[in-house]
Amino acid sequence: MPRGLLQLVFIIMVNGFICATTTSAQTPRESKKVLILFAHEAQQSAQIIAEQAIRSTLIKGTPDQLEIYSEYLDAARTPIDSFEKDIVSLLRRKYEDKKLDLILAFNTPALKLVLNNRSVLFPRTPIVFMILEQRNLAELHLGSNVTGIWAESNYRSNLDLALVLQPETKRVVVISGVGQWDNYFRAAVKEDFQPYEGKLEFEYLTGLTVSELQKALSNLPPHTIVSFISSAQDKARNNTGNLEVLRQICPVSNSPVYGATDAQLGLGIVGGRLTSFERLGIVAGEISARILAGEKPEEIPPHGVPGIAMFDSRELRRWGISEQSLPAGSIIRFKDPSIWQLYKWHIAGILALLALQTSLITILLIQRKQRRIAKESLAKLNAELERRIVSRTAALDAKTSELETFAYSVAHDLKAPLRGIDGYSRLLLEDHFTSLNVEGRSFLQTIHSSVEEMSQLIDDLLAYSRLERRDFNPDHIELAPLISRLVAQKNRESIESNVDFVVDVNGSSVVADANGLMQSLGNYIDNAIKFTRKVPRPRIEIGAKEMESTCLLWVKDNGIGFDPKYGDRIFDIFQRLNQPEDYPGTGVGLAIVRKAVERMGGRAWAEGKPMEGATFYLEIPKSNGATLTNE
Amino acid sequence: MNEDLNPILIVEDRATDIDLTKRAFAKRHLLNPIQVARDGEEALAYMDRWRAGEPLPVFILLDLRLPKISGLEVLRELKKHSTYSRIPVIVLTTSAEDHDVEEAYKLGCNSYILKPVEFNKFIEVASQIEVYWCALNTTPTT
């Protein structure tokens, strides 16, 4: 078996073992079993509220598994005295094997049933009760292992509250039925309202049918309030039920109706200090959870649970009662949800989107501003740079022009004394010939040739300088006539040389500065003549070839040539490769060529080998940047 | 010097150049008396002397680079005048500047000659000037 697979099997086995041990550790804890015995039928509203509160509180407060059983005695409609034994026997048989941990009795009939049959119905199981009237405990013997709560009587405090909210009240209409419980509650209320007799006018509407109540309530005099006690049964023996009665009478009443319990809230009562079944259920659930956790019922003495001031927002509005006048801690139900409550998440979402959008826009605006600032400063910098370039260029131009003028003037003025030197040395030679010996005459000859050399140098410098300053005038030039004119001129100038000129320019033409081209080719030819002087059969070829965008010209000689490593240096000003005695020259001629050609946008270079002749090239654009002027 | 011959006016600031010019003409056996103006102002002052009856020169040798008033200015003044504009003016200068040559011809100079450095060539130039302007050329008589 591969090693990886073995590892996998091992891991699975170990995990399986851990899972098994965890499960087996949990199994010994048995679930807690609770029986809730309700006095009323399952659908009784108050009881439903209480049951929900009990169950949720119990589940929340008990870490163990819970099994909750509910039994509904329906004792209000069918009093259980006559078949109590049957019920007890049924309950006993039903729950004997369950081993109940707790019995929760809701309301007096249920409590009475368990207490009366304690010996049969699970004597060791703790009992938690939840009843409405403390005085009902008087006729019961609680015994041990029993605790519970009751609802504190609210009738009086309810009236107190009503009078605070509606201080102008003069009359109180008390509604009650004629059922067993109705009579019981009415008696209690009468007792509670005793202190108000004389101060307020009380009217007891007892046992009226719904329609009678509707009629009565719609015709109440001003400054009246209605106190609804209970109306389980009317004098016509209708068991309409409190909640249904309220649902039908409240809408037609012309005075506010104060109720008794939170089960009635929402049916049209204003509210009041109400017995809260929810609160009772929670408290009973909490006590039950404590006992299930191990506390003894004796450690939790029975106690009352006060009512809670609760109101129906819609009714408050209907009767013009401000929420501000309600006691602190009042619970207001059925509030119209505000726009905020209704659309809280929409609004939050929209706000979040808006915030996001705003921040994005802000970021974009900031970025845009930063970019604009950067752009502006760049533009400013550019402008400043431009301005500086312009001013420096102008300064430089002025300096260059000054320098050129200076060089030119110097060259010019150098010629005047030269003329003096030559003139007078020549006069000396001619007019005082006899007074001079041979050596003196040869000195004067040397002076003369020195002057000649210097004069040539100055002329070349002037030409070079003039090239710099002269305007460049491009012109369409046919090469053949230009070169034959040049050759003729050069032949004339150097009669003693017997150079064989070979010209073949193939009818080429260029766009160039005529003076510059003439001077360049002239200097090339001069150069070729000079360096072929000592060759037996001097020969100079002049050629041209039109290329794609340029015209190539060359002057080829069979002279002494040159070392190729100096090929580029010979174009530098004052650069010479030979002794002036052998090949006199100023070293400016080729510099002039290069400058002239570069001004035309072309280039000049040379190829050669010692004693094998040289070829000097000119490459000129056919139509260069300088446009042809048609004059 | 032959008193009957009209003079030649040399407008030149350099003493050696004046002397060499005179000697060059002398070598060519030119007999005309030589007058000299050492600057532009002196040159223009000759106009008053001509007005007073002094004989007009056969030609004027004019240098361009002169103190006080430039050779081109002198040329302009001369050529403005109805009579004196007929006097041939030969610009003899070291300047081979295009604009000098152009300007001089525009103003009406009759010839523009570069001053050679070598004396032999100078003599040659002098000789040619003499042959052309004194022997061949005809100017209208006043």
Q: Does B99 touch chain A (CB under 8 A)?
A: no
Measuring CA to CA, how many Å separate A374 from each of A369, A382, A384, A387?
A: 8, 12, 15, 20
Which pLDDT value is given to residue A622?
78
pLDDT attached to residue B116: 82
How far apart (Å, rounded) are the C-alpha atoms in residues A147 and A107?
A: 13
The least confident of A464-468, A504-508, A512-516, B113-117 is A464-468
Q: Does B22 touch chain A (CB under 8 A)?
A: no
Question: pLDDT value at position A19?
Answer: 44
- Residues of B within 8 A of A415 (CB-CB) are 94, 115, 117
Report the distance separating Cα A128 and Cα A111, nearest Å.
9
- Residue-level pLDDT at A7: 59
- CATH code for the domain in which residue A551 is found: 3.30.565.10
Tell me the shortest Cα–Cα distance from A427 to chain B, in angstroms: 8
The model's pLDDT over A3-18, given as tens digits with 9 standing for 90+, comes to: 555 555 455 554 544 4
Pair (A167, A311) in one structural domain: yes
Band of the pLDDT at A630, cuts 50, 70, 90?
very low
Please give the Cα distance from A608 to A559 (Å, whole number).
10
* Residue A388 or B135, more confident: A388
For residues A213 and B17, what is the distance between their CA atoms, to the nearest angstrom? 152
Calculate the alpha carbon distances from B29 to A424, A431, A454, A477, B24 in Å. Answer: 18, 15, 30, 47, 9
DSSP assignment, residue B131? I
**Which of B17, B95, B97 is nearest residue A419 as measured by Cβ atoms?**
B17
Residue A418 belongs to some domain of the structure: no
Q: Tell me, yes or no, whether A284 and A311 share the same domain.
A: no
Higher per-residue pLDDT: B4 or A70? A70
**pLDDT confidence of residue A12:** 52
CB of A470 within 8 Å of a chain B CB? The answer is yes
- Top-confidence residue, A405 or A260: A260
Residue A631: its pLDDT value, please? 34
Contact in structure between A186 and A204 (CB atoms under 8 Å): yes
Q: Are residues A110 and A254 in the same domain?
A: no
For A397-413, b/e burial (b = at least 16 CB within 10 A) is eeeeeeeeeeebeebbe
Above 60 in pLDDT, residue B5? yes
- Please give the pLDDT value at position A364: 95
Contacts of B14 in chain A (CB under 8 A): 416
> Do the beta carbons of residue A231 and residue A199 sit within 8 Å?
no
- Cα dist. A547→A111, A209, A514 in Å? 126, 126, 20
* A327 inside domain: yes
Please report the pLDDT score of residue A14 as a whole number.
Answer: 47
Q: Is B97 on the interface with A (CB under 8 A)?
A: yes
A524 belongs to a structural domain: yes
Beta carbons of A416 and B16 less than 8 Å apart: yes
Q: Which residues of A touch B117 (CB under 8 A)?
A: 415, 418-419, 422, 451-452, 455
User: Which CATH superfamily does the domain covering B8-135 fall into?
Assistant: Response regulator (3.40.50.2300)
In B, residues 24-63, which contact A (CB 8 Å cutoff)? none
Tell whether the model's pLDDT for residue A501 goes beyond 70.
yes
Chain A CB contacts of B116 below 8 Å: 419
Note whether A412 contacts B95, CB cutoff 8 Å. Answer: yes
Q: Which of A353, A319, A354, A312 is nearest to A336 (CA)?
A: A312
Residue A213 lies in a domain: yes
Q: What is the pLDDT of residue A382?
A: 93
- What pLDDT was estimated at residue B123? 81
Q: pLDDT grade, residue A276 (50/70/90)?
A: very high
Nearest-Cα residue of chain B relative to residue A405? B97
**Rounded Cα gap, residues A212 and A176, in angstroms:** 13
In terms of domains, do A259 and A284 share one?
A: no
Q: Which of B20, B65, B96 sits opposite A419 (nearest CB)?
A: B20
Partners of residue A448 in chain B, C-beta under 8 Å: 118
Which residues on A lie below 8 Å from B122 (Cβ)? 419, 423
Cα–Cα distance for residue pair B77/B56, rounded to 1 Å: 16
Calpha distance B47→B63 (Å, rounded): 17
Residue A25 CA to residue A21 CA, distance in Å, equals: 6
Q: Which of B96, B116, B118 sits opposite A462 (nearest CB)?
A: B96
Is there a single domain that holds both residue A313 and residue A296? no
Within A272-343, residue ranges assigned H as helices are 277-292, 313-318, 339-342
Taking each continuous run of H as one helix and of E as one strand, the counts in chain A are 16, 20
Distance from CA of A462 to the nearest CA of B (A): 9
Residue with tokens 């996998």: A8
- The structural domain count of chain A equals 3
pLDDT, mean over chain A: 86
pLDDT for A24: 44
CATH classification at residue A142: 3.40.50.2300
**Burial (CB count within 10 angstroms: exposed 0-12, middle 13-18, buried 19+), residue A6:** exposed
Q: For the segment A113-163, what is each residue's pLDDT rounded down to a tens digit? A: 999 998 888 888 999 999 988 888 888 888 889 999 999 877 888 899 999
The residue range of the domain holding A49 is: 29-152+276-305
Please provide the distance, in angstroms rounded to a whole number, between the alpha carbons at the two ends of chain B.
24
Residues A260 and A164 placed together within one structural domain of the fold = yes
Residues of B in contact with A457 (CB under 8 A): none
Instruction: Give the nearest partner residue to B94 out of A416, A427, A452, using CB atoms.
Output: A416
Burial class (CB within 10 angstroms; exposed 0-12, middle 13-18, buried 19+) of A12:
exposed
> For chain B, how are helix, strand and coil distributed in percent, rounded to 5?
45, 15, 40
Check A426 against B95: CB less than 8 A apart.
no
Work out the average pLDDT over A540-551: 87
Let me know whether A172 and A211 are in one domain. Answer: yes
Say if A240 falls within a structural domain: yes
Same domain assignment for residues A90 and A181: no
- The verdict on A415 touching B (C-beta cutoff 8 Å) is yes
The strand pairing partners of B113, in sequence order, are: B92
User: What is the model's pTM?
Assistant: 0.46
Q: pLDDT digit string (tens) for B15-67?
A: 888 988 888 888 878 888 999 999 999 999 999 999 999 999 988 999 988 88
Please check whether residues A505 and A579 belong to one and the same domain.
Answer: yes
Residue A7 within any structural domain of the chain: no
Residue A380 lies in a domain: no
Instruction: Tell me which chain A residue has its CA closest to the CA of residue B99.
Output: A470
Tell me if chain A has a CB within 8 Å of the CB of B16: yes
Read off the tokens for A406. Answer: 């200076």
pLDDT digits (tens, 9 = 90+) for A175-234: 999 988 889 889 989 988 999 988 899 999 999 999 999 999 999 999 999 999 988 889
- B72: confidence class by pLDDT, cuts 50, 70, 90: very high
Q: Which of B23, B95, B115 sits opposite A419 (nearest CB)?
A: B115
Instruction: Name the residue among B17, B116, B122 with its Cβ closest to that of A416.
Output: B17
Interface confidence (ipTM) of the complex: 0.77
Taking each helix axis from N to C end, the angle separating A438-469 and A514-531, rounded to the nearest 10 degrees, works out to 150
* Smallest Cα distance from B16 to chain A, Å: 6
Q: What is the pLDDT of residue A3?
A: 56
Whether residue A287 lies inside any domain: the answer is yes
Best probe of the A interface among B64, B100, B119, B122, by most A CBs < 10 A, is B119
Structural contact between residues A429 and A442, judged by C-beta atoms closer than 8 angstroms? no
Question: Does the distance separating the beta carbons of A412 and B94 come in below 8 Å?
Answer: yes
DSSP, residue by residue, A106-118: ESHHHHHHHHHTT
Q: What is the pLDDT of residue A432?
A: 87
Nearest CA in chain A to B26: A427
State the residue for tokens 């015709």: A219
CA distance B99 to chain A (A): 10
Smallest Cα distance from B130 to chain A, Å: 19
Q: How far apart are CA A172 and CA A203, in angstroms?
A: 6
Is A524 exposed, middle or buried, given 0-12, 13-18 or 19+ CB atoms closer than 10 A? buried
- The whole-number average pLDDT for the span A440-444 is 86
Q: How far is B116 from chain A (nearest CA, A)?
A: 7
Neighbouring-strand partners of residue A104: A36, A128
> Mapping DSSP to helix (H, G, I), strand (E, B) and coil, where does residue A198 land?
coil
- Regarding whether A180 and A43 lie in a shared domain, the answer is no
Task: Note whether A415 and A457 are within 8 A (CB).
Answer: no
How many contacts (CB atoms, under 8 Å) link A and B?
A: 52
The fraction of chain A above a pLDDT of 90, given in percent, is 41
pLDDT for position A21? 45
What residue type is assigned to position A533 of the chain?
R
Angle separating helix axes A277-292 and A45-61, nearest 10 degrees: 30
In angstroms, the separation between the Cα of residue A597 and the nearest Cα of chain B is 20
Instruction: Specify whether A206 is located in the same domain as A102.
Output: no
Quick check: B94 contacting A, CB < 8 Å?
A: yes
Chain B nearest-CA residue for A470: B98
